[in-house]
Chains A and B, each alone.
Chain A
Amino acid sequence: MFGKLSWSAIPIDQPIPLIAAAIVLLVIATVIAWAVLKGHMPYLWQEWITSVDHKRIGVMYVLLATVMLLRGGTDALMMRAQQAVAFHSPGYLPPEHFNQIFSAHGTIMIFFVGMPFVIGLMNFVVPLQLGVRDVAFPTLNSVGFWLTATGALLVNLSLVIGEFARTGWLPFPPLSEMTYSPGVGVDYYAWALEISGVGTLVAGINLVTTVLKLRAKGMNYLRMPMFCWTTLASNLLIVAAFPILTATLAMLLLDRYLGFHFFTNEAGGNVMMFMNLIWAWGHPEVYILILPAFGIYSEIVSTFSGKPLFGYRSMVLATMAICIISFMVWLHHFFTMGAGPNVNAIFGIASMVIAVPTGVKIYNWLFTMYGGRIRFATPMLWSLGFMVTFIIGGLTGVLVAVPPADFLLHNSMFLVAHFHNVIIGGVLFGAFAGLTYWFPKAFGFRLHEGLGKAAFWFSFAGFYLTFIPLYAAGMLGMTRRMQHYDVAAWRPWMIIATVGVVVLAVGIVLQVLQLVVSIQRRDELRDRTGDPWDGRSLEWATASPPPVFNFAFDPDVEGLDAYWWLKAQSRQQQVEQPRNYHDIEMPRNSPTGFVCAFFATVMGFALIWHIWWMVILGGVGAFATFVVFAWRDTDEYVIPAAEVARIDRLNLDQRRDLVTSAGSA
C-alpha cells in the first residue's frame, strides 16, 4: 500500500535533523495559523498564490531563494564547525549525516537559491525593462514557479522522512547506483530535480520568448538594457542545457528503478558517460547563474556612475560569446578522467579563452566608472565587492584550467575555494545587489542603507576569512568533503574558516534585520517618484510598486537608456506629452500552477517511495488540472481606460510635485 514507506523512515535516533524539522514545521504552522487567524488567507490566495503577474511571481521566486539560503547556510555552518573540531576526533556529525549535509548544501544552494534568485529577478525586471505588460506565457510562468517550489519542498521533506543523497551535489555513479546507495536519498535528489527542472525549463522558454518577441515599440535589439541581453543569453542556456540534466537523471533513475545499465559497472554500462552528460549541463549551468548577475552589475554600475554603460556593443558580444563558449569547456571538470593530452589541452585552452570575454566585461565596468560621479549606495558596494572578488576567483579558475595543475588540485579544497569564490563573489553578491537595487521598485520603499552597508562589509570580510584559508588548505593537500582528518597543518586554516563563516552569517543576519527594520520604517523610506536611484531604463518610468499593467501607455523607445533620455527630453521641453489612455486587457489569475504543483508533489513523493497508485493519482490530477484550465472561457479581463488614467495620474502628480519642489529648493 505504501511502498517502501514505513515508520522507520523517520529518523527518531538522530536528534539534529529531527529538531531542525520540528523547528521548520513549527515556523510553517505559525505562519499558516497567523495568516488564517488574521484573515490573510483570501488575500494570499487571490493576490499571490494564484497570481500570474510576473512581478508577483518574481517576488515569490526571490522569497523562496532567501528562505532556502537560510537552510543552505545552516548546512554550511554545520560543515565548517565539523571540520574545525574533527581533527583527530570524529567531530559531532556522524559520516552518513555529514555526507547528507554537504550533498544537500550544494543541491540547495545551486538549484533552490541561485536559480530562483536570478530567475526571480529576471521575471520581475525584464518585462518592465522591455516596456511590456507581462511575460509571454503568464500562467505557465506560475506553473514554473510552483514546480520549483515543489522541488524545494521534496528536498526539505527528506530531512524528516527518509534521508537525502550522500553522493555529493552531483550523484556520480556507481556510488549513486542501487548497489551502493540503496536508500531513498538519491531518489529524493533526482525526482526533486526532475520536477524543478521542468519548472526551470518553462521559465527559460518563457523568458527567451519574452525577450525575442515582446518588446516595446522601437526597442531594437541594440536598444535593450544589458540585463535583458544577459537574460536572453542565460535563458538560451537554460533551454539548451536543462534537457540534458533531465535526460541524464532519467537514465540514472532507469538504472535505479528498472535495472538498466547506463552507468553501472556491469553489462557494458559506462560511468564516465554520466560525467560527460552531467557536466555538459553543469558547466553551462554556472553561466546560467552568473550571466544575469553580470547584467545586474551592468545596470547598477551605469546607474550609480551616472554614465551610459561603457562599450555596450562589446558587452553584448562578450555576453553572447560566453553563452556559446560555455558549452565547449565541460571536460575541464574531469581532466583526470584520462582522455589524453590532446583532448585535455583543447578543453584547457577553451576554458582559458572564456576568461577573455569575462575580462572584457570587467574592463567595461571599470571604464564606466572612470570619470563618473559615483554614488556609493549599497547596490554599488556589492558591485565593487564583486569586481575585486570575482577577479581573484577568475584567476584561480584559469589556474585550474591548466590540466597539469588540475591533476594536483582536482577535488581539493582549492577547488572548493575557487567555485565559492565565483559563486558567492559573483552570483550571490549580484543577487544581493539586484535585491537592494530593485526592492524599492517592487515595494515602493527603500531598504535601510546603514544596515545594508553593514551587511555588505560583514559578508565581504566573512567571505575572505572563510575561503582564502580553504585555498591554503587545498594547497597543503586537503581534499574536499572530509568528515575528519589528522593533518595538523590543516587545522589552523579550518579554524580561521569557521570564524569566517560566522562573520559571513552575521552579514546574512544583518540583511534579514535590514528587511525587518525597513518594513517597520517603510513610511520614512517611501519612494514616491518610482525612480529612487535616478535610473536609466524603463522600469523606473512607472510607479513603485508598478500597477498590474506596468505601463499606462505603450512606451516608444528611441535609443539606449530609454528612460534617461525621456527624462532629459521632458526637462528640456518643460511640457508634458499628452497621454492617450485606452482599455487594457490583462490575463486572469489562475490556480493552475499551484494545483499542478500539488499533484507534482504527490507524484514525486510517491515515486520516491514506490507508491504506484499514488503516482497514477498525481499524474491524472496534473493532467486534469490542465484540461480544466484549457476549458475556461475567458482568460482575460479588461481594465477600463478611465481606471488606467486614474492610476497613472496619481503617479504623475506625485512625480511632478517632487520635480517642482526639487527645482525650487
Chain B
Amino acid sequence: MSTAATMPAHADPHHVGGMRAATEHEGPAPKRIVTGYGFWIFLLSDIVMFSCFFASYAVLVNETAGGPSGAQLFDLRSVAIETACLLLSSFTCGLATISADIRRQARFQAAMATTCVLGLAFLALEGREFADFVARGAGPTRSAFLSAFFTLVGCHGLHVSAGILWLLTMMAQVYAKGFRADIQRRLLCFALFWHALDIIWVAVFSVVYLLGSGV
C-alpha cells in the first residue's frame, strides 16, 4: 500500500507533529468530560487555598501567646463523631449519585436528605466546639495559634455550609426538572465537591486534632 498517496503532502515525518501518531487527537471532548475536568481543576485550586491555611497553621501552631494549646482544648471524642458524620455523608452522597444514574427520584431525594442531615450534624458539632472554645476564653483573637485554628477549621466549615446550600438547590432542581443532562453534570460536580471536603477533613483531622492533642 502506498502511504505517500494517502498521506497529505505535508505529512513529513521529520516535521514536528507531521506524522499521524497512533494516539490521534479526536477533537473536542464531550460536555460531561469537559465539565468534570474543569471542576477538578477548580478543586485543585481550592486545595491550594487550603494548603495556605494549613501552612499558616503549621507556622503559628506554637504561638499560643500564653493562652491554651491544642492539647488543652481539643475533645477528640466530639471530633471523632464529627468525622464519622462526614465520612457517612460521603457514603450517602455516593448513594445519591447512583440513584441519579438510574434516575430514581425518591431514592435520590432520600439519599440527598440523609447527606444533608449528616452535614448539618457535622456543622452543629463544630459550632458547639467553637462556642465552647470562645466561652473558655480561647476565641480566635486570643493568640495567633487560635487565629490559624479557627480560620483553617472554619474555612472547611464554610465549605460544608456552601455545600449544603448547593445540595438543597440540587434537590429542588431535580424535583422540579428531573434528571436532565445538564443537571446530571451539576450533580457530578456537587459529588466531587462533597467528596473533596472529606479528603480535606482527613487532613484537618490528622494535622490539627491528632497531632495537636498528642503534645
Contacts and interface: CB of A to CB of B under 8 A. Distances in A.
B106 to A, nearest CB: 22
B136 interface: no
Given A132-B28, A270-B59, A569-B10, A209 B49 contact: no
Nearest to B42: A205
B33 interface: yes
A262 B25 CA distance: 49
Interface stretch (A144-152, A212-220, A334-342): A212-220
A633 B186 CA distance: 14
A251 B56 CA distance: 9
Interface string A528-541: 00000000000000
Interface string A186-212: 000000000000000100111011001
B147 A558 contact: no
- How many chain A residues sit at the interface, stated as a range, is 35 or more
B56 A277 contact: yes
B27 A205 contact: no
Interface string B128-165: 00000000000011111101101100000000000001
Interface string B23-48: 11111110001110110011011101
B25 A219 contact: yes
A565 B48 contact: no
B126 to A, nearest CB: 18
A244 B38 contact: no
A216 B182 CA distance: 23
A560 interface: yes
Contact of A270 (B16, B45, B60): B60
A115 to B, nearest CB: 16
Contacts of B44: 239-240
Nearest to B21: A220
B11 A630 contact: no
Interface residues of B, number: 55
Contacts of B198: none
Interface in A629-647: 630-631, 633, 635
A243 B144 contact: no
A370 interface: no
B15 A268 contact: no
Contacts of A255: 147
Contacts of B17: 220, 222-223, 559-560
A630 B63 CA distance: 46
Nearest to A280: B52
Given A240-B48, A246-B49, A268 B143 contact: yes
B41 A267 contact: no
B64 interface: yes
A247 B48 CA distance: 9
B144 A209 contact: no
B53 interface: yes
A466 interface: no
A262 B37 contact: no
Given A220-B24, A239-B45, A261-B144, A560 B29 contact: no
B206 interface: no
Contact of A217 (B11, B27, B151): B27
B199 interface: no
A628 B125 CA distance: 33
A261 B65 CA distance: 10
A565 B10 CA distance: 7
B41 A208 contact: yes
Contact of A258 (B8, B27, B141): B141
Given A239-B44, A258-B140, A267-B142, A631 B173 contact: yes
Given A214-B28, A270-B59, A559 B10 contact: yes
Contacts of A29: none
Given A215-B25, A219-B25, A201 B11 contact: no
A363 to B, nearest CB: 18
Interface string A566-607: 001100100000000000000000000000000000000000
A214 B31 CA distance: 10
A201 B48 CA distance: 12
A51 interface: no
A492 B145 CA distance: 51
Interface in B56-74: 56, 59-60, 63-65
Interface string A263-279: 01011111001000100
A631 B169 CA distance: 10
B9 interface: yes
A6 B99 CA distance: 55
A260 interface: yes
B56 to A, nearest CB: 6
Contacts of B33: 213
A137 interface: yes
A262 B60 contact: yes
B25 A273 contact: no
A554 interface: yes
Interface centre among A208, A254, A270, A558 (most CB of B within 10 A): A558
Contact of A240 (B9, B26, B45): B45
B127 interface: no
A205 B25 contact: no
Interface of A: 132, 136-137, 201, 204-206, 208-209, 212-220, 222-223, 239-244, 246-248, 250-251, 254-255, 258-262, 264, 266-270, 273, 277, 312-313, 554, 557-560, 565, 568-569, 572, 623, 627, 630-631, 633, 635
Given A205-B41, A558-B11, A559-B11, 4 more contacts: A240-B44, A558-B20, A559-B16, A560-B16
19 contacts: A137-B35, A137-B38, A213-B34, A216-B27, A217-B27, A243-B48, A243-B52, A244-B48, A247-B52, A251-B56, A254-B140, A258-B141, A261-B65, A261-B144, A269-B63, A559-B15, A559-B17, A560-B17, A569-B8
Q: Which 4 A-B pairs rank lowest in CB-CB distance, beginning with the nearest? A: A268-B63, A268-B144, A243-B49, A247-B52
